Amino acid sequence: MKFRLLLALLVLPLGAQTTPFGTRVSDPAAAPTTITAPAAAPAAAPAAAPAAAPAAGGVSDEFVDNSVQVSPFRPTLLPEAKSTRTFQLSKLNRLGSTETTRELQRLYSAFATQSIVDGSPAGSSKAVGYLTTVTYSILQDLGDNRYLAKAAWPASGPNEALAPGVDTMALLLLEKPAKAGDTGKITGMHVGTVSVLFTPDFAPLKGRRLTLRREAFLECATLEDSPAGLQRFVEAIVAGAELSATTNETIPCKKCGGLGFTREAQKGQLLDKRVPCADCASTGKLIISVETKFVP
């Protein structure tokens, strides 16, 4: 699934490119020392300029290489859930059970925001990257519904695993064709960082062949968080679908037993010394990622 989505963003290079960036671009694993693209594109221009023009001394009108290469650079990594539990539908609202209607609704809301509508038999699949709202203004059409855009998005994921973007360039894979200058807002799934080798056709980088490493987002639709959506979700579980939702849950700190401190015996003293618990920053609570699996 993830591989397929990423492939959608990429164009495999046809034959060797003679750019000095060529080998590095095609071998992202060998590129840890090249994470150099600064956030502001204009600042990247001087570094990239020597490699850009075919003729020395600037941009040549004779030959402009407009081919585009997009290579995976750093895949998106979703955190593994620290703990798992099950939610048993048959126990719903039974006395003393934790399976309540309210809890089911809360978990379904999480499930809906972590799933994307697609052409799979179930109609949706688990999102393989963080979902966020991306506001964009298209800078350049890179072909195959891929666009370089000036974009902004809020942080997403636990502990803001996906950092927010503010007026930054990003690569977007849109559902519908667009053109430079178009603006809009999409639900985007973060598919990692990609390396884009292209020739900008916008100022101030126009005509300079360069490589940018940018966050990439795939336009997608999330499941509907509605009673009807919840109904279909329950029916799917009863029919045997293996579904789960990941949420952050607050649990008592194991190290200090939820007290926020541990005790240390003091020689010759009646009272123990209280040592603040570092694990939970003396709060007595921990927030952990929990995967809840749903069973009939």
Residues at the interface with Zn ion (CB under 5 A): 253, 255-256, 277, 279-280
Are the CB atoms for 78 and 289 separated by under 8 Å?
no
* Calpha distance 240→83 (Å, rounded): 22
91 versus 274: smaller Cβ distance to Zn ion: 274
Opening angle at CA 220, ends 243 and 195, nearest 5 = 110
CB of 245 to Zn ion, least distance (A): 27
205 versus 277: smaller Cβ distance to Zn ion: 277
Distance of CA 131 to the CA centre of its chain: 6
Are the CB atoms for 181 and 138 separated by under 8 Å?
yes
CB of 241 to Zn ion, least distance (A): 38
CB of 96 to Zn ion, least distance (A): 28
Are the CB atoms for 133 and 188 separated by under 8 Å?
yes
41 versus 256: smaller Cβ distance to Zn ion: 256
CB of 281 to Zn ion, least distance (A): 8
138 versus 253: smaller Cβ distance to Zn ion: 253
186 versus 256: smaller Cβ distance to Zn ion: 256
CB of 272 to Zn ion, least distance (A): 16
Task: For the sheet with 83-88, list strands across it.
Answer: 83-88, 285-295, 244-252
